[in-house]
């Protein structure tokens, strides 16, 4: 009797958020850009979802907005899914929902390329020819961000661009700006985050490394091998143009 009364009381006092009242936001980026960290930081706000990597491009039916809203109880639904290698021209295919916001995460070409090498080639990465870096940098990294720039200019209302380097150097400032952009009730920025609820970070769906599991933002140390990649690819025409657009040049 007591338990039933308590449950009824909680049901009456907990507001039900209708699908039309929810905010849908997409986190867009290349792979190996720090997207899991950014998603974890946003999810630290109590009204922002904590979901595993979700392919938002599959929500194309007329009821897509309702299905996305049903993924979580939080008022703000953030869906992360980076561009794959074969999607440089098509990414992202937006879900069939109105008034979607975009959070676009950029990371400089050399650290992204170094991480992509390790992801794509695993144990044989040290013997992969250096010319592969040209395609990862020019054919993938620059192509994806050039497309994102053309489609989602940084306007602060529907599109919010953030650089990984800025995020890890001043996470409190940038997460505060993100919370404001998303319309979160949280107003203060943060530099740490809780673990995900109901799933684990793991390779193939999110970042499964030790750094993300530390639950605190850590500025990475850039090895000489990454700086060597920068020297090899920075003058490629498309890479040079996109780095200038991102403020890295």
DSSP state of 196: P
Report CA 164 to chain centroid distance, whole Å.
10
Q: Which two tokens stand for residue 169?
A: 């150097």
Model confidence band, residue 65 (pLDDT cutoffs 50, 70, 90): very high
pLDDT in tens, 109-145: 999 999 999 999 988 988 889 899 999 999 999 999 9
Sign of torsion over alpha carbons 165, 167, 169, 170: positive
Strand order in the sheet with 101-106: 76-80, 23-28, 101-106, 159-163
Cβ contact 64:97 at 8 Å: yes
Is pLDDT at 166 greater than 80 in this prediction?
yes
CA dihedral 162, 166, 169, 173 (to 10 degrees): -60
pLDDT at 12 over 70: no
The pair phi, psi for residue 86, each rounded to 5°, is -90, 10
pLDDT for residue 8 is more than 50:
no
**If you average pLDDT over residues 98-113, what whole number do you get?**
97
Query: What span, in angstroms and rounded, lies between the C-alpha atoms of 62 and 184?
Result: 27
CA 142 to chain centroid: 17
């Amino acid at each position: 009797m007591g338990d039933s009364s308590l449950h009824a009381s909680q049901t009456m006092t907990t507001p039900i958020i209708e699908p039309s009242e929810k905010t849908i936001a997409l986190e867009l980026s290349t792979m190996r850009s720090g997207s899991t960290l950014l998603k974890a930081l946003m999810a630290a706000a109590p009204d922002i979802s904590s979901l595993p990597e979700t392919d938002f491009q599959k929500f194309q039916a007329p009821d897509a907005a309702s299905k996305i809203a049903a993924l979580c109880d939080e008022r703000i639904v953030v869906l992360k899914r980076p561009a794959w290698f074969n999607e440089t021209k098509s990414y992202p295919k937006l879900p069939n929902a109105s008034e979607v916001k975009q959070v676009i995460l950029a990371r400089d070409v050399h650290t992204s390329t170094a991480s992509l090498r390790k992801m794509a080639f695993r144990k044989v990465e040290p013997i992969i020819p250096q010319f592969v870096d040209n395609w990862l940098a020019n054919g993938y990294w620059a192509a994806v961000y050039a497309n994102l720039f053309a489609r989602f200019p940084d306007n602060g209302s529907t599109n919010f661009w953030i650089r990984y380097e800025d995020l890890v150097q001043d996470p409190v400032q940038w997460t505060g700006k993100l919370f404001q952009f998303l319309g979160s009730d949280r107003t203060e920025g943060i530099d740490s985050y809780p673990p995900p609820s109901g799933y684990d970070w793991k390779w193939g769906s999110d970042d499964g490394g030790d750094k993300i599991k530390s639950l605190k933002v850590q500025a990475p140390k850039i090895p000489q091998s990454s700086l060597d990649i920068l020297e090899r690819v920075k003058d490629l025409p498309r890479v040079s143009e996109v780095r200038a657009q991102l403020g890295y040049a």
